[in-house]
Amino acid sequence: MMGRPVLNRDQLLNHRVGVPGQSDVIWGPLYDFNAYPSAGILNLTFFTAPVGNGTSSAPNVGAGLAKTRFDTNMTVQGQLTKGNEFYMTGIESLFYPGVNNSTATPFAILPGRGSVALAGVGAFVNDVWELGASGLVTFTVGTDRIYVQDGPLNMFPPVTRLALQAAVATTNDCDSAATSVVEEIAYAVWSGEPYTLVPLYIESNQSFTATITWPALIPLPSTAIGRIGLRARGYLVRQAT
């Protein structure tokens, strides 16, 4: 009863690939990432800077370089090229504190990073909390047809996350710098039911965009640049050539 089903030939033919004049349908979410300034920002726009444009926020790619596949899978600005269509079923946001690609050391704070001054304890968790408690996500097709306008950001949790058990291991009040130091492991992520929507069918060359807006600047407690992305979940429909 729990085995895999036997497929007949007609079922198999429904999933042929590369047949000229027919379409492939694959699971192919669209994603785009931007840097989040440590001092905050009022507006971030997604899916409008394709590969080769904008500024990469991916760790270890190199400061000041254009976006690559590590940042986005958009190939043109704000639309899909001819022969590609998208059946969108949901949207998620991803936030990574302390991913600072503007310096030679892109990771400013990470779970399990080690010794931190007392003033920096909980920086990872605090960044996630502060940013997730605010922000409005808007997804627009065409010039003014809004299909998602909801917030705050923690309403759009990622569907995967780091599984972790965390604890403060030791406290050292007598280090060489005469400052209190904590050996810390800290991690937090927005969680809950994935944000789904009534499916949208976005056709080739139909413009779309997503924005995150804030009513005021939300500085990050860690004072480190973060990385934030939006991921439109759904199926990519491709014409075979």
What tens digit of pLDDT does each residue of 159-168 get? 999 887 666 6
- Number of residues that make up the chain: 241
Percent of the chain past pLDDT 70, that is, above it, reads 88
**pTM across the whole model:** 0.88
> Who wins on pLDDT, 42 or 64?
42
List of domains in the chain: 25-106+135-157+191-239 (2.60.120)
Q: What mean pLDDT, rounded, does the chain reach?
A: 88
Maximum average pLDDT range among 13-27, 77-91, 107-121:
77-91
Say which residues have a Cβ less than 8 Å from residue 160's Cβ, sequence separation at least 6.
none
Q: What is the pLDDT of residue 102?
A: 77
Residue 169 has pLDDT above 70, yes or no: no
For residue range 179-226, list pLDDT tens digits in order: 566 677 788 999 999 999 999 999 999 999 999 999 999 999 989 899
Q: What is the pLDDT of residue 184?
A: 72
Say which residues have a Cβ less than 8 Å from residue 40's Cβ, sequence separation at least 6.
214, 216, 217, 218, 219, 220
Least confident of 93-107, 138-152, 157-171, 187-201: 157-171
> Who wins on pLDDT, 105 or 215?
215
pLDDT mean over 107-117: 71
Residue 85 has pLDDT above 80, yes or no: yes
Cα separation, 173 vs 62, whole angstroms: 37
Instruction: Pick the closest to residue 158 from 189, 124, 199 (CA basis).
Output: 189
Q: What is the pLDDT of residue 167?
A: 63
Say which residues have a Cβ less than 8 Å from residue 32's Cβ, sequence separation at least 6.
46, 47, 49, 71, 72, 74, 210, 229, 230
SS3 annotation, 195-211: CEEEEEEECCCCCEEEE
Q: Give the side-chain half-sphere CA count within 13 A for 232.
A: 31
pLDDT mean over 224-234: 96
Cα separation, 204 vs 200, whole angstroms: 13
Task: For residue 60, name the pLDDT band (cuts at 50, 70, 90).
Answer: confident
Phi, psi (rounded to 5 degrees) for 205: 65, 15
Task: For residue 38, name the pLDDT band (cuts at 50, 70, 90).
Answer: very high
Task: For residue 177, name the pLDDT band (cuts at 50, 70, 90).
Answer: low
Residue 143 has pLDDT above 90, yes or no: no
Cβ neighbours of 88 (radius 10 Å): 23
